[in-house]
Amino acid sequence: MSAPALRCQGLSRWYGEVQGLSGLTVTVDRGVVSLLGPNGSGKSTFLKLVTGLIRPSRGHVELFGRRVGPDNHAVFARVGYMPGEDVHFEHERAEDFLALLARLGGDRPARARERAAAALDRVGLAGRGGSRLEAMSKGMRQRVKLAQALLFEPELLLLDEPLNGMDPISRRHTMALLRRHADAGGTVLFASHVLHEVEAVTSRVILLHHGRLLAEGRLDEIRERFDRRPRRVVVECARPRPIAAALLDAELASGTRFADDDRLELETRDLPSLLVRLGELGREGRIDGLEVVDEGLEGIFDLLIGEDG
């Protein structure tokens, strides 16, 4: 069995008295995984530790089974990194900038030009290689940075807020590109603080808060941890108050709220039993419809942060 693309053990980083990351242990294998957390949660610090741009205060990182250190930089040939901040020269043209990076990576001039043009094409910037970076929009510069990460066709992509500043069309194009990379057997780890972006690309998440791991895994598996927490059900009915009273008396609902004259919001700790009773009420013609409110990633994240203090 091949080693996972990324594994870290007890990874910590301090900036003087400030804790950037604390005791992080995670494994990232094939597919698309989101590194999710609010600004300042440690996402960028983690990516910089993985790429070797900064060194850990404690713990270690492994890429494809090899420990990251000063003597094994060859492993980074299999990694593409997109930083959160702009790192290019503003006065340069997009293709010149990428070709320079390709030359630094060992390409001859003609091959470097070919590689740069191919990377721009992959991110939807074909024909824009002659544009100066200083004249490009934020979203276009983001795509140039993504092209930089893709330049040497890496197996592992490490992307820091890749969708930041992109318009909706560019976002969809980029999301599709990430999924194709994973479908081809690659690995994508992308940092984000935008919840709906994450849910649109992947269900596999690593949740960080204040530099610590809150949870990791598939979204549905994380959600199962909260099955005993109250769930919300919205019911459409002509007479909500008698129905609310009956459900409270039967201890099928722990709370109620009347949104309007024909809409009832229920809170329950026993969702299956409540749904059975609501089904009966529906067959009796006493309710017109219902919806189980899925808390989604945002609700789960809020709960986890609350638990973390």
**Where are the chain's structural domains?**
6-225, 230-293
Give the 3-state secondary structure of the chain.
CCCCCEEEEEEEEEECCEEEEEEEEEEECCEEEEEECCCCCCHHHHHHHHHCCCCCCEEEEEECCEECCCCCHHHHHHEEEECCCCCCCCCCEHHHHHHHHHHHCCCCHHHHHHHHHHHHHHCCCCCCCCCEHHHCCHHHHHHHHHHHHHCCCCCEEEEECCCCCCCHHHHHHHHHHHHHHHHCCCEEEEEECCHHHHHHHCCEEEEEECCEEEEEEEHHHHHHCCCCCCEEEEEECCCHHHHHHHHHHCCCCCEEEEEECCEEEEEECCHHHHHHHHHHHHHCCCCCEEEEECCHHHHHHHHHHHHHC
Query: Measured between alpha carbons, how far apart are the two ends of the chain, in Å?
Result: 40
Burial class (CB in 10 A: 0-12, 13-18, 19+), 150: buried
10-residue averages of pLDDT along the chain (309 residues): 91 93 95 90 95 94 90 85 85 95 95 98 95 92 96 97 89 94 96 82 89 88 69 88 93 88 88 89 87 65 62
145 C-beta neighbours (distance < 10 Å), count = 24
Determine the pLDDT at residue 303: 64
Determine the pLDDT at residue 299: 63
Q: Please, which residues have CB within 8 angstroms of residue 93's CB and are 6 or more apart in sequence?
A: 129, 130, 131, 132, 133
Determine the pLDDT at residue 66: 92
Q: Is the pTM of this model over 0.85?
A: no
Cβ(157)–Cβ(149) under 8 Å? yes
CATH of domain 230-293: 3.30.70.2810
Determine the pLDDT at residue 211: 93
Determine the pLDDT at residue 296: 56
Determine the pLDDT at residue 184: 96
Pick the CATH number of 6-225 from 3.40.50.300, 3.30.420.40, 3.40.190.10, 3.30.565.10: 3.40.50.300
Determine the pLDDT at residue 195: 74
Structural Rg of the chain based on CA atoms: 24
